[in-house]
Amino acid sequence: MMATTHVFVGLVLVAPVAVAAPDLATPLAVGAIVGGLLPDVDLVLTHRKTFHFPVLGAAGAVSAATLAAVAPSPFTAGIAACAASAWIHAASDALGGGPEMDPWTNPSDRAVYDHARGRWIRPRRWIRYDGAPEDALLASALAVPAFVVFSGPIRTVVAVALAVSLGYTLVRRRLVEWTPEWLE
Ligand SMILES: [Zn+2]
């Protein structure tokens, strides 16, 4: 799944809370955006392993959400949204393809690393690869509620992220030809 799809999932996840507590909407949205992007920082380390916690991340998300419920504040709400969004990102990576650049010729059997069991989870390929047409469709469907619920700069971020997603989808398969060997 595209980084932007992960961001939209996080935003839709916190949207009902943002509707119920409008004064927390901005920290919730910022937390969801950061959490949706954060795991993929491990691209420079062991991608889909170092910062991806598809199983253990649930404990972090539940703890942070409990703390936010007991002591609601912009800070605790933002942290909870970030933890939940990062966990869902890692868990949903198992539903996509592997991290390879060209999954149509060279599919991988490693979707995301399960630190609890100490092994890789295999890709389900519901979304065959990041930037696949079904990925763009999912991103577009999620962007609608995110755009409706949030306002101001967050709404602008949603619109720009959707435009980037659709542009990326259009060139995704050609990217493999353009990417130098060493970068893949
Ligand atoms: Zn990821």
Per-residue model confidence (pLDDT) at position 181: 64
Rounded to the nearest angstrom, the distance between the alpha carbon of 12 and the centre of ligand 1 is 18
The mean per-residue pLDDT over the stretch 28-40 comes to 98
Rounded to the nearest angstrom, the distance between the alpha carbon of 111 and the centre of ligand 1 is 9
Q: What is the average pLDDT score of the chain?
A: 94
Reported in sequence order, the residue ranges of 71-160 that DSSP labels E, i.e. its strands, are 112-114, 119-121
Residue 184, pLDDT > 60, answer: no
Residue 55, judged by CB atoms within 10 A of its CB (0-12, 13-18, 19+), counts as middle
pTM of the model: 0.93
The mean per-residue pLDDT over the stretch 25-54 comes to 95
Answer yes or no: are the C-beta atoms of 85 and 9 closer than 8 Å: yes
Q: How far apart are CA 80 and CA 63, in angstroms?
A: 8
Q: How much of the chain, in percent, has pLDDT values that exceed 70?
A: 97
Q: pLDDT class for 182, splitting at 50, 70, 90?
A: low
Structure tokens at 38: 């954060």
Q: Tokens 């696949």 correspond to what residue?
A: 132
Q: How far apart are CA 58 and CA 83, in angstroms?
A: 8
Per-residue model confidence (pLDDT) at position 183: 60
Residue 13, pLDDT > 90, answer: yes
Rounded to the nearest angstrom, the distance between the alpha carbon of 122 and the centre of ligand 1 is 14
Per-residue model confidence (pLDDT) at position 102: 82
Answer yes or no: are the C-beta atoms of 9 and 92 closer than 8 Å: yes
Which of the pair, 131 or 178, is modelled with greater confidence?
131
- Taking alpha carbons only, the member of 137, 128, 124, 55 closest to residue 95 is 124
